[in-house]
């Protein structure tokens, strides 16, 4: 069977756009797939609406501010962007802006000036489909990036490796394509960039703080930002790295043969992003006609999902509510968790994010007007029409149709419950699953990050949690005292400075740490111990040491540490350094000891933790401890 | 119908499990808050932008450790059969000036001490072991304002089950070739300590047995 133009166009707008409003699919179908692809990929030459600035009319502070200005400006900037994504007339240009935001992830939480974030996003909007070399050069000296990865602190006198490392590891090449010496060389050549005084839109080069000595980077000689960028984009690994990122984002696959083909075309075009984008889209369209197993699958992230839901329904949420739900779902635009971007994929199927998605779907459905075609279809029971309006002309799968039938019996304003189900349903849009068997809980294998894979998984999880809570209350009431041992793991994300935590009392320490070193006299003394003292902030632990309830283990690591956060985290969570693994050390313990039906046996607080990834055992992730409530038993 | 009720209803609709419910969603009427030992700080705010974050690797949220351990202590006291709790804290990538290592350690030290008090108060202390983890230590030589990525790290093991000793050394006279503290104790030894506390199996999880350096009693 050949995929219809209508299905193909809908797929394009799900994958490299933000959905469609009622009526849009009809008009685009008249254009035909080829014309639609042209318009998406090259909007100016194919009659798309002119570019709009999402932040037009907003004013941003020029200097860092604390408290309300910063917060209010950030909320306004994020809200304006979300409004734009749900109404853009240039969907793929907007999608590329979003893609680059996740490729060069920068967070306003550290940048502290919404205006700098907007400047960076405008760069992505303007230059996101042109030459990758130009984009990389732009982002390397972008003011928000100079703050985010400490480029502005990187000077001849005090080199800072942060950007020099991440530009190679995450942005341009991928781990394994450079050495530690390359990191140092790259950082040195990029030193001397600062924010222009008083302006939020510009950076400047300060020659006096630049290390002008020629550096040897990846076999070439570099001295400045231009020679660094030229060297990076000339590496064979560069087009492969970027092509892999496009394939992952658009197709949800990691097919090495396809990556090689895309990379070859990307390279032949002198790294034209538009060429790579078109090639990836065409590969996706070709696969739509293939067997189901070859059909591209991705899990749509919360913010793009919200934009598409708003576009289809005309429903909305207040900026504060939207922000709250997105926080619970784990994705605030302009605030990625770290330089690796949002975890993506199965991470969006965890219990916490599933609950948040249900809440958001309910909020959107509740604000959808009775006159909306989507709500009318939901109320009338016309599932085929509802699916088409939600950018799924191929219709819903059986599990969703069954859920919709149930929802129509739920009462309330006609169509609202069914619309919420359709928006949030695992077989509808987020996640965009193709295999109905995924809903069969008896076959589902839980993974640590995703205790459940869908609403159904969340409900089953919630049922098991309810049983566990009830059993716990009963046991407590009966006076039973648990005796099983408990392990609590505190993950200090980012790499804790051990030498300034438990401080060696030696002159050598002060030689290495002339400014950060803690004076011996300031250290918290450990009774009976003369070689070490605790950081003054750790004073509360002194009593535990005195009671012999604190042990300290030093020099903990693993062989061949690459100094990459992500590779190091992989080694730590899997406990199989140097070897890829699908399970974490705690997940394997669960698999060895759990019944498979006790999701509270292991709980991760403050987000999921891959150490809990198991082959068959559920666990529970709590993204936001303050939003999670579990009443302790009385007394 | 409130959004919260609807969310619960629609999850039931989508569920093949009869009577499946849902954990209290974050919207709608507030469910009862956990009771909490006096002396603990209130739970961390869920504000969109908590006041004090700077670091790229998961922004520092004031009180990540304390707030997480607060939930942990409640879970342990609630007889839910919970055996493993991971508390994820961020912000330890302290490479730039103005970093908050002091505040991070205050959260860590204060959080752990209060956690121990809470589990002692609920009569649970004897069955709990707490271990810290982190992806690496930091460069021994500072970069002028912070420290770059390093190698061997320092970790705490806390609870009545430990001997109360210092194991291993960050030998500053013999740094590794990058100028970092050497990784002289394998991370799997730290995990072997944790897994032995849980009653194993250690070898099955870690591939083989690992020296536990006599950390536990």
Tell me the pLDDT tens digit for each residue of B72-90: 888 888 888 899 999 988 8
Distance CA(A598)–CA(A602), nearest Å, equals: 8
Q: Beta B153-158 vs A550-557: how paired, if at all?
A: antiparallel
For A71-101, what is each residue's pLDDT tens digit? 788 888 999 999 999 999 999 999 999 999 9
Please tell me the predicted confidence (pLDDT) of residue B110: 92
DSSP string, A299-355: PPPHHHHHHHHHHHH-----HHHHHHHHHHHT--TT--SSTT----GGGGGSHHHHH
Most confident region among A234-238, B63-67, B102-106 by mean pLDDT: A234-238
Contact between chains at A605 and B71 (C-beta distance less than 8 A)? yes
Rg of chain A, C-alpha, whole Å: 26
Contact between chains at B93 and A494 (C-beta distance less than 8 A)? yes
Distance CA(B166)–CA(A556), nearest Å, equals: 12
pLDDT at A492 over 70: yes
Contact between chains at A543 and B113 (C-beta distance less than 8 A)? yes
Q: What are phi and psi of A388, to 5 degrees?
A: -60, -40
The CB density around residue A32, as the number of other CB atoms within 10 Å, is 13
Closest CA in chain B for residue A109: B53
pLDDT at A540 over 60: yes
A146 neighbors A157 (Cβ within 8 angstroms): no
For residue A399, name the pLDDT band (cuts at 50, 70, 90).
Answer: low
Residue position matching structure tokens 């879970």: B75
Higher pLDDT, A173 or B44: A173
Residues of A in contact with B101 (CB under 8 A): 497, 500, 535
Contact between chains at B138 and A425 (C-beta distance less than 8 A)? no
CB contact residues (below 8 A), chain B span 152-191, against chain A: 152-160, 162-173, 178, 181-191
Contact between chains at B57 and A494 (C-beta distance less than 8 A)? yes
Question: CB contact, 8 Å: A571 with chain B?
Answer: yes
Write the CA distances from B43 to A36, A264, A391, A602, B101, integer angstroms: 51, 52, 41, 21, 21
Residues of B in contact with A502 (CB under 8 A): 154, 166
CB contact residues (below 8 A), chain A span 210-269, against chain B: none
Closest CA in chain A for residue B183: A557
Contact between chains at A485 and B197 (C-beta distance less than 8 A)? yes
Higher pLDDT, A327 or A437: A327
Q: Helix, strand, or coil here: B137?
A: coil
**Closest partner residue to A513 among B11, B142, B183, by Cβ?**
B142
Residue A271 makes CB contacts below 8 A (sequence gap 6+) with A131, A132, A133, A233, A238, A239, A242
Structure tokens at A517: 């070193």
Q: Could you check whether the bond before residue A5 is cis, i.e. omega within 30 degrees of 0?
A: no
Write the CA distances from A607 to A132, A450, A495, A591, B134, integer angstroms: 33, 11, 18, 21, 16
* The model scores a pTM over 0.80: no
Residues of B in contact with A625 (CB under 8 A): 43-44, 67-68, 70-71
Distance CA(A434)–CA(A426), nearest Å, equals: 10
> Cα A283 to chain center, whole Å?
24
Select from A106, A218, A109 the least CA-distant residue to A162.
A106
Residues of A in contact with B63 (CB under 8 A): none
Question: CB contact, 8 Å: A327 with chain B?
Answer: yes
Higher pLDDT, A418 or A63: A418
| Mean pLDDT value across residues A439-459 | 31
CA distance to partner chain B, nearest, from residue A333 (Å): 11
Q: Could you check whether the bond before residue B201 is cis, i.e. omega within 30 degrees of 0?
A: yes
The per-residue pLDDT of chain A, averaged, comes to 84
**Closest partner residue to A459 among B17, B143, B146, by Cβ?**
B17
Least confident among A77-86, A243-252, A432-441, B202-211: A432-441
DSSP string, A195-211: EPTT-SS-EEE-GGGS-
A602 neighbors A484 (Cβ within 8 angstroms): no
Q: Helix, strand, or coil here: A275?
A: helix
Higher pLDDT, B66 or B192: B192
Contact between chains at B22 and A439 (C-beta distance less than 8 A)? no
Q: Beta A602-605 vs A550-557: how paired, if at all?
A: unpaired
Residues of A in contact with B51 (CB under 8 A): 66-67
**DSSP letter, residue B30:** P
**Region class of A182: left (phi > 0), else alpha (psi between -120 and 50), else beta:** alpha
Question: CB contact, 8 Å: B52 with chain A?
Answer: no
Q: Beta A529-534 vs B153-158: how paired, if at all?
A: unpaired
Give the A:B interface size as CB pairs under 8 Å. Answer: 633
Residues of A in contact with B202 (CB under 8 A): none
B13 neighbors A401 (Cβ within 8 angstroms): no
A450 neighbors A610 (Cβ within 8 angstroms): no
Please tell me the predicted confidence (pLDDT) of residue A68: 56
Structure tokens at A150: 């400490």
Please tell me the predicted confidence (pLDDT) of residue A445: 25
Structure tokens at A528: 């009976």
Residues of A in contact with B162 (CB under 8 A): 548-551
Contact between chains at A626 and B35 (C-beta distance less than 8 A)? no
For residue B203, name the pLDDT band (cuts at 50, 70, 90).
Answer: very high
């Amino acid at each position: 069977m050949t995929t219809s133009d209508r299905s193909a166009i809908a797929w394009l707008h799900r994958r490299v756009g933000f959905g469609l409003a009622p009526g849009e699919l009809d008009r685009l179908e008249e254009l035909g797939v080829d014309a639609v692809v042209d318009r998406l990929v090259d909007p100016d030459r194919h009659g798309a609406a002119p570019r709009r600035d999402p932040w037009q009319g907003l004013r941003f502070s020029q200097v860092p501010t604390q408290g309300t200005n910063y917060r209010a400006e950030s909320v306004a900037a994020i809200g304006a962007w979300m409004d734009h994504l749900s109404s853009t007339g240039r969907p793929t240009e907007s999608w590329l802006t979003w893609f680059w935001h996740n490729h060069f992830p920068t967070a306003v939480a550290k940048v502290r000036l919404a205006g700098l974030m907007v400047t960076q996003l405008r760069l992505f909007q303007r230059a996101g489909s042109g030459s990758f070399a130009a984009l990389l050069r732009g982002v390397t000296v972008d003011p928000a990036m100079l703050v985010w990865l400490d480029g502005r602190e990187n000077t001849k006198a005090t080199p800072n490796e942060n950007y020099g490392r991440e530009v190679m590891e995450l942005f341009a090449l991928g781990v394994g394509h450079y050495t530690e010496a390359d990191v140092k060389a790259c950082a040195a050549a990029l030193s001397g960039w600062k924010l222009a005084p008083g302006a939020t839109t510009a950076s400047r080069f300060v020659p006096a703080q630049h290390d002008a000595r020629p550096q040897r980077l990846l076999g070439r000689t570099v001295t400045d930002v231009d020679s660094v960028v030229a060297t990076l984009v000339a590496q064979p690994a560069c087009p492969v790295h970027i092509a892999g990122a496009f394939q992952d984002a658009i197709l949800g696959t990691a097919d090495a043969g396809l990556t090689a083909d895309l990379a070859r075309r990307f390279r032949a075009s002198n790294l034209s992003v538009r060429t790579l984008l078109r090639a990836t889209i065409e590969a996706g369209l070709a696969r739509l006609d293939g067997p189901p197993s070859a059909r591209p699958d991705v899990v749509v992230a919360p913010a793009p999902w919200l934009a598409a839901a708003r576009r289809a329904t005309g429903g909305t949420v207040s900026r504060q509510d939207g922000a709250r739900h997105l926080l619970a779902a784990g994705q605030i635009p302009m605030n990625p968790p770290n330089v690796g971007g949002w975890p993506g994929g199965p991470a969006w199927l965890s219990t916490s994010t599933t609950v948040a998605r249900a809440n958001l779907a309910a909020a959107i459905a509740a604000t959808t007007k009775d006159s909306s075609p989507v709500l009318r279809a939901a109320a009338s029971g016309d599932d085929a029409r509802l699916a088409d309006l939600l950018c799924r002309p191929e219709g819903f799968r059986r599990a969703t149709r069954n859920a919709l039938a149930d929802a129509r019996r739920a009462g309330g304003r006609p169509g609202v419950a069914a619309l919420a189900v359709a928006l949030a349903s695992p077989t509808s849009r987020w996640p965009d699953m193709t295999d109905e068997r995924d809903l069969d809980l008896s076959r589902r294998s839980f993974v640590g990050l995703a205790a459940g894979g869908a609403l159904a998984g969340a409900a089953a999880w919630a049922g098991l949690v309810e049983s566990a809570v009830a059993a716990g209350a009963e046991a407590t009431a009966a006076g039973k005292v648990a005796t099983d041992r408990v392990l609590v793991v505190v993950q200090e994300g980012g790499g804790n400075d051990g030498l300034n935590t438990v401080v060696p009392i030696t002159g050598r320490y002060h030689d290495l740490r002339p400014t950060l070193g803690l004076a011996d006299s300031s250290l918290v003394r450990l009774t009976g111990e003369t070689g070490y003292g605790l950081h003054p902030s750790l004073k509360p632990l002194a009593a535990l040491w005195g009671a012999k309830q604190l042990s300290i283990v030093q020099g903990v690591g693993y062989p061949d540490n690459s100094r990459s956060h992500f590779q190091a985290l992989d080694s730590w969570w899997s406990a199989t350094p140097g070897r890829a693994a699908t399970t974490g050390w705690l997940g394997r313990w669960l698999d060895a000891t759990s019944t498979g039906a006790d999701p509270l046996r292991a709980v991760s607080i403050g987000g999921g933790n891959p150490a809990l990834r198991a082959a068959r055992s559920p666990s529970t992730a709590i993204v936001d401890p303050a939003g999670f409530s579990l009443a302790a038993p009385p007394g | 119908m409130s959004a919260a009720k609807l969310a619960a209803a629609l999850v039931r609709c989508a569920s093949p499990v009869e009577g499946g419910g849902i954990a209290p969603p974050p919207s709608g009427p507030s469910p009862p808050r956990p009771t909490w030992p006096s002396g603990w700080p209130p739970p961390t705010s869920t504000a969109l932008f908590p006041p004090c974050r700077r670091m790229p690797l998961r922004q520092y949220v004031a009180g990540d450790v304390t707030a997480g351990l607060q939930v942990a202590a409640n879970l342990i006291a609630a007889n839910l059969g919970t055996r493993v709790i991971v508390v994820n804290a961020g912000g330890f990538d302290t490479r730039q000036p103005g970093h908050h290592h002091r505040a991070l350690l205050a959260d860590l030290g204060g959080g752990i001490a209060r956690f121990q008090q809470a589990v002692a108060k609920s009569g649970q202390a004897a069955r709990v072991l707490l271990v810290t983890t982190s992806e690496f230590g930091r460069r021994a030589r500072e970069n002028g304002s912070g420290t770059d990525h390093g190698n061997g790290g320092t970790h705490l093991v806390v609870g009545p089950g430990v001997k109360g000793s210092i194991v291993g050394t960050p030998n500053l006279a013999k740094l590794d070739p990058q100028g970092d503290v050497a990784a002289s104790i394998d991370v799997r030894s730290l995990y072997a300590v944790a897994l032995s506390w849980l009653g194993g199996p250690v070898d099955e999880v870690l591939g083989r047995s690992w020296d536990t350096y006599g950390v536990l009693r």
